[in-house]
Amino acid sequence: MIKTALVTGGAGFIGSHMVDFLLSKNYIVKVLDNFSGGQDQNLVHHKNNGKLIVEKTDIRDCEKIKTFFKDINEVYHFAGIGDIVPSIENPIEYFSVNAGGTAILMDCLRNSKNLKKIVYAASSSCYGLASTPTDEHHKIQPEYPYALSKYQGEMIVRHWYKVYKIPVNTIRIFNAYGPRVRTTGAYGAVFGVFFKQKLSNAPLTIVGDGEQTRDFLYVTDVAKAFFMAAQSNLTNEVWNLGAGNPVSINYLADLIGYKSKKYIPKRPAEPDCTWANIKKISKDLNWKAEVNFDEGVRTMLKDINYWQDAPLWTEKKIQTATKTWFKYLKN
């Protein structure tokens, strides 16, 4: 029997790779995305695939398209809005989408008779300035509205399991990277910033001394973990997901290559290290990362022109864009 999966945010960075993975497994894939962050080009290679169905709708409007949820077996919930600074400037929108939208989606799925599993894309930002390596029992201490809104979404899906017995699992993603990582919007993801700077022969802007480390995980390994979480007989589990092998931003800069570097002030409420303890997901799902960091970066560099139209972030532009960050977040 051919299975049907729903991927919310399926035109986005991770969501589109989830779509790739599911179509390769012969699924019928329904994408729900309002394209506020997602892009048509992330799915264009599937335009002639009759097993892909795309609905351009906000998750907060799920009630209007209830028939779209018919016969769904698995749900991969990536839809949401990210970035730290916009969440500080407009917190209500973040809670409306990431928490409220999740509640509306869950309620639309409440009477789905064939639904076997929902996997929620949570964020490791819920841990705040965490001790490392960080396991799933670490204290929850979000530092900014985005982090809190994603954690509220997590609590909502688990509450729907408790009350309505909708089967869910949650994965707290650390630092996903790979092809299609965002090119537009607010100042954020380091890869898009660095690649555009390299293309422009501009200095790579490195926060602090560059020795801070991040637990980067290649996006296809993320998609595989979500698929395994959906197939598992385990329910209402929470897993941390990273490579379990943090690397420094200076190391990333060296891999990418550069004409020059510019060090800019360290930002408050940002951890010096993110590092997922992945023992639980490795044991429970028999999951392991397949793409090492150097290999992943080299793959992205082959397609560096994807970032040709990305904004060029200079030291001055970054200072302006992060003014709110420095104003409200304190160490």
How far apart (Å, rounded) are the C-alpha atoms in residues 83 and 166? 29
- CB contact at 8 A, 318 and 187: yes
How far apart (Å, rounded) are the C-alpha atoms in residues 217 and 291? 8
How far apart (Å, rounded) are the C-alpha atoms in residues 104 and 100? 6
| 71-93: b (≥16 Cβ within 10 Å) or e | ebbbbbbbbbbbbbbbbbeeeee
| Main-chain phi, psi angles of 163, to 5 degrees | -85, -45
306 classed as catalytic: no
Catalytic residue among 76, 144, 146, 151: 146
- Would residue 181 be called left, alpha or beta, if left means φ above 0 and alpha means ψ between -120 and 50 degrees? beta
Helices (H), ranges, the chain = 13-24, 84-89, 91-94, 102-108, 145-164, 190-199, 219-231, 249-256, 279-285, 293-302, 315-321, 323-328
| Main-chain phi, psi angles of 227, to 5 degrees | -60, -45
In sequence order, which residues have a C-beta less than 8 Å from that of residue 262 and are 6 or more positions away?
Answer: 203, 204, 205, 206, 315
In sequence order, which residues have a C-beta less than 8 Å from that of residue 319 and are 6 or more positions away?
Answer: 264
Centre a 10 Å sphere on the Cβ of residue 145 and count the other Cβ atoms it contains: 21
Instruction: Name the residues annotated as catalytic.
Output: 146
